[in-house]
Structure 1
């Protein structure tokens, strides 16, 4: 999915991120999306794109952030109760419908 506006460095970066995501078990479509978003955000931060959102220019870069917004942790920004409930349903956790968010997290082994 390398784009016309990307230079060879950005194309290499895209391929590297995509390959890395696939090695982690991410589907090919999702890996392509993550790679493209990361490259585009880095381009915006470096001033290589014509337009950039405020969120692209502020805060940490995707590499510095290291997945802090990935929905893997509890607390603010973590998975919602619905996400935890769906995971509990997939794992066939009994009593899940009456559990709170924290109880679901504990039952799933997330603390």
Structure 2
């Protein structure tokens, strides 16, 4: 781990690495994912000397993780995530909607 990382960032790295290993990623892939996540968070917090354009815009790794991107199976937000957003926007009839209907009502289809 780089010496610039704080203790909290080192713990975050280890936690992400262990989680990825539990999900079946190889040791090298788990290390890469963990390091990229910690480094992107450091960049967004202004703790690095240089920052790439994509590191500073868009969603943080924590927000993006809920979208289940880059894995087999269903893509996009879960039905519960869509429902919570519909509730925040006060969309009527949301409780009887399925995932596709919620996505359509939110304009995410």
Computed over aligned residues only, the root mean square deviation of the Cα atoms, in angstroms, reads: 1.9
Aligned to 2:41: 42
TM-score, structure 1 normalization: 0.60
- Change over 3 Å in CA distance of 1:72–1:8 after alignment to 2: same
Residue correspondence of structure 1 range 9-88 to structure 2 within 5 A? 9-66=8-65, 68-70=68-70, 72=72
Cα drift, residue 72 of structure 1: 3.8
How big is each residue's C-alpha offset from its partner over 1:36-91, in whole Å with a ceiling of 9 and x where there is no partner?
0000000000111111111000000011001554254689xxxxxxxxxxxxxxxx
The ranges of structure 1 where at least 4 consecutive aligned residues each deviate by more than 2 angstroms after the TM superposition are 71-75
- Change over 3 Å in CA distance of 1:45–1:73 after alignment to 2: farther
Q: Structure 1: any 5+ residue segments left out of the alignment? A: 76-111
CA distance in 1, matches of 2:62, 2:26: 20
Kindly tell me the number of residue pairs found equivalent between the two proteins.
74
CA distance in 1, matches of 2:14, 2:4: 15
